[in-house]
Amino acid sequence: YTEKFEKMRIAGKLAAQTLDMLTENIKEGVSTAYIDKLGYEFIRDNGGHSAPLYYRGFTKSLCTSLNHVVCHGIPTEDRILVEGDALNVDVTAIINDHYGDTSRMFCIGKTSVKLNNLIDATYQSMMKAIKILKPGIKLGDIGHEIQSYIEEKGFSVVRDFCGHGISTTFHEAPNILHYGTKNTGMELKTGMTFTIEPMINAGKFPTKTLSDGWTAVTKDKTLSAQFEHTVGIKEDGFEIFTLSQENLDQPKYDL
């Protein structure tokens, strides 16, 4: 699996570098379509292409999910970022036929304490799940790690979307649920590559999809947050393929 991991490393690095580049450009006054354009050009100029573009009819290169949007938000000229917004940007780059898939939250100016807490809990839940990864654990252990941490904070884990296997295709088996029971489900094996991408709501977990066929929002209109890394299972643990090259993985807030 070392050859596969070498390619996943390159794809993951490109996706992470795209988010690194976008970080200083995601600010008050810019449209989500502008962020999409920058992402499209960066991935292209670095020898890759963007997986979402034309994927099942998706018309943009990135997903931009704002505030109560859970995932799959479509970039648009019409939405200009304003102070208090929290935006998830989800990048999936393809290079040498391999996929790197990662997302982070970006706070615009000063955001509410409640929102900051939601974002922090979401990031921590993803990292807690990643840290237990090694051969022999089960898929349910991943879900349990996230769900137990999140519910203790009074937030909820979205059920309608999940992580996924990823390598030379975008979405492949197995599904990685972000809720579950310890010691249940498929056993992890060395060489597996997949995403962990918890979507966490401040309110209840149900979602609904808007009439554009993509944008998923919280049914109760509460805020939602998400982070995503692409990871691989090694003999002795795990590797994160989509780590920031500039230590920009962790959420940052203006206080």
Q: Which of 20, 36, 101, 141 binds Co ion (CB under 5 A)?
A: 101
Q: Which residues make beta-bridge pairs with 199? A: 226
Nearer to Co ion, 15 or 108 (CB): 15
Q: Establish if 160 lies at the interface with ligand MF3 (CB under 6 A).
A: no
With beta carbons less than 8 A apart as the criterion, state whether 167 and 4 touch: yes
Q: Which secondary structure element, helix H or strand E, spans residue 163, and what is its range?
A: strand 163-165
Nearer to Co ion, 20 or 228 (CB): 228
Q: Which of 36, 101, 141, 145 binds ligand MF3 (CB under 6 A)?
A: 101
Q: Return all residues near 166 (Cβ < 8 A) that are at least 6 apart.
A: 99, 101, 172, 193, 194, 195, 230
Radius of gyration of the chain (CA): 17
**Least distance (Å) from Co ion to the CB of residue 11?**
12
Q: Establish if 228 lies at the interface with ligand MF3 (CB under 6 A).
A: yes
Q: Which amino acid is it at 224?
A: S
Q: How far apart are CA 19 and CA 14, in angstroms?
A: 9
- What backbone phi and psi angles, to 5 degrees, belong to 183? 60, 30
Residues 188-217 close enough to bind Co ion by CB under 5 A: 195
In the shown chain, the binding pattern of residues 224 to 243 toward Co ion, with x for contact by CB under 5 A and - for none, equals ----x---------------
Q: Which of 85, 90, 141, 249 binds Co ion (CB under 5 A)?
A: 90
**Least distance (Å) from ligand MF3 to the CB of residue 48?**
14
In the 8-state DSSP scheme, what is residue 168? S
**Least distance (Å) from ligand MF3 to the CB of residue 113?**
28
Q: Establish if 55 lies at the interface with ligand MF3 (CB under 6 A).
A: yes
Cα separations in angstroms, 4 against 11, 16, 65, 115: 11, 18, 31, 38
Which residues of the chain form contacts with Co ion (CB under 5 A)?
90, 101, 195, 228
Which residues of the chain form contacts with ligand MF3 (CB under 6 A)?
52, 55-56, 58, 63, 72, 90, 92, 101, 195, 197, 214, 228
